[in-house]
Copies of this chain bind each other. A is one copy, B any other.
Amino acid sequence: MISKKTEESIQKGSAIRAMFTEGKAMAERYGAENVYDYSLGNPAVPAPEKLKGVIADLVKETDPLELHGYMNNAGFPDVRETIAADLNRRFKTSYDWAHIVMTVGAAGGLNVALKTILDPGDEVIVFAPYFGEYKNYVANWDGALIEVAPDLLTFQPNLSVLKEKITPKTKAVIINTPNNPTGVVYSEETLTRLGEILTEAEKRVGHAICLLSDEPYRELVYDGAAQTFPAKNYKDTIVCYSFSKSLSLPGERIGYLAVSPEIEDGERLLEGLTQSNRVLGFVNAPSLMQKAVAQCLSEKTELAFYDHNRKCLLESLTLYGFTCVKPEGAFYLWMKVPGAPEEQTVSAEAEQAFVDRAKAERLLLVKGSAFGCTGYVRIAYCVSPEMIERSLPSFQALAKETCR
């Protein structure tokens, strides 16, 4: 009964989700405390305490016909107004309520945006390593995913390569800072230069190039660094935001798109986004959660929790002999698979062998190939500090086996 397209897609599968499932099976076999699952970006910090009261009050005090009812497909106007005002206050932008479209998470938002702007064959540029699902999202709308190879020294987007990759078919560029899987935060210099390159390219190709800024980790930056907001550096930007990480609500599927006020014909674009939100079957973002997050915009996740994990892992793994990219944001550690000289990386086979060895130590790590960058693994440290402590001997054993 399944379509050919789905059949192929199942065969490729999701490496991350496969790990998650495998982890559950291993937990049953060895006991949950003896499996060190670093595979999934599922926040370990609970949702802010305030949210409980907010939900309880909403349920008690709001007319259920409004609270659970249909609204404009783009979301409740008051919620959109509150979010616009919050962005304007924090980033000195000038959104108004009509620029915000509430979505079923950032994954929903990205699909809504891509569906709205892509015709079959249109090209979408991503910077490796990138969140593997982008490939599926672009394929959903018959777009072509164009990869820009990584800068293995800095893991900042490789902008000189970007320039070469832009063609008259380029319709969008996806960025993700703080980055999944590397933990790198794009520098102001990178974002400024990116904006310049895209602005020039738009003139060259003769049509708009949409920057899709996927920002679920926006608030997760360490060492007191400022939060970046790429939309400030390029007018044709759609922000794809999710409350999954900042408020620890990944299961609730709540986020938004913010369309830059300066986009030409933005009203039409917003109409398109709203319509795609509807016809894709989302219809609208979950209503109760829309109202709940609007009251929690000033809440912060427990950054110190992740920061502790970050420091502990980075320090220990480096000590054991691994080479890691120092994470500046998000909750991922990007570690090189040992066995290749400094500026080179191991093969896909060697990467898989390393992941398998890690699994033998009951460490679940996701291979870099899943992010379009072979020779690395992603370690999601949104886990309990106790699990990290318990897992260190396994990492040490793995290092002994694999590092020289």
| A residues at B contact (CB < 8 Å) | 1-7, 9-10, 13-14, 17, 21, 40, 42-44, 46-47, 51-52, 55-56, 59-60, 63-65, 67-73, 104-105, 107-112, 115-119, 122, 133, 136-137, 140, 171, 207-208, 210, 236, 248-254, 263-265, 268-269, 271-272, 275-276, 278-289
Residue A252 contacts which of B43, B265, B286 (CB distance < 8 angstroms)?
Answer: B286
Measured CA separation A72–B207 after assembly (Å): 41
The residue on B at minimum CB distance from A243 is B68
Residue pair B137, A286 in contact (C-beta under 8 Å): no
Beyond A17-B73, A56-B59, A65-B248, 13 additional pairs, beta carbon < 8 A: A1-B171, A1-B264, A2-B268, A3-B116, A6-B117, A9-B275, A43-B69, A46-B64, A104-B281, A108-B281, A252-B287, A253-B282, A254-B286
Closest 4 CB pairs of A and B: A251-B287, A111-B281, A136-B279, A107-B281
Residues of B within 8 A of A208 (CB): 1
Q: A286 contacts B283, CB within 8 Å? A: no
Q: Tell me which of B65, B250, B253 contacts A104 (CB under 8 A).
A: B253
**What chain B residues lie within 8 Å of A55 (beta carbons)?**
55-56, 59, 288
Task: List the B side residues contacting A115 at CB < 8 Å.
Answer: 3, 6, 140
Q: Residues of B contacting A43 with CB < 8 Å?
A: 65, 69
Contact A1 B251 (CB under 8 A): no
Q: Once the chains are docked, how many angstroms separate the CA of A236 from the CA of B5?
A: 20
| Contact sample, A vs B, 6 pairs, CB 8 Å cutoff | A46-B63, A55-B56, A56-B60, A104-B282, A133-B279, A253-B282
Look across to chain B and name the residue whose beta carbon is closest to the beta carbon of A116: B6
Alpha-carbon separation in the docked complex, A10 to B64 (Å): 31
Contacts of A269 in B (CB 8 A): 1-2
A70 touches B282 (CB 8 A): no
Distance, CA A115 to CA B68, complexed state (A):
27
User: How far, in angstroms, from A118 to B7 measured CA to CA in the complex?
Assistant: 11
B3 touches A112 (CB 8 A): no
- Complex CA gap A5/B133 in Å reads 23
Please indicate the chain B residues that have their CB under 8 angstroms from the CB of A282 in the complex.
104, 107-108, 253, 281-282
CB of A288 within 8 A of CB of B252, answer: yes
Once bound together, how far apart are the Cα atoms of A145 and B280, in whole Å?
A: 16
Q: A56-B59, A64-B47, A104-B104 are in contact. Are A10 and B271 (CB under 8 A)?
A: yes
- B17 adjacent to A137 (CB under 8 Å): no
How many whole Å from A195's CB to the nearest CB in chain B?
Answer: 16
Are B133 and A2 in contact (CB-based, < 8 A)?
Answer: no
With the chains together, A105 CA to B286 CA distance in Å? 10
Q: Are B272 and A10 in contact (CB under 8 A)?
A: yes
Say whether B284 contacts A68, CB under 8 Å: no
Partner among B1, B7, B13, B283 whose Cβ is within 8 Å of the Cβ of A236: B1
- Residues of chain B contacted by A286 (CB below 8 angstroms): 251-254, 286, 289
Q: Is the beta-carbon distance between A275 and B6 smaller than 8 angstroms?
A: yes
Closest to A253 in B: B286
Question: Are B250 and A69 in touch, CB under 8 angstroms?
Answer: yes
Q: Which of B119, B122, B251, B276 contacts A69 (CB 8 A)?
A: B251
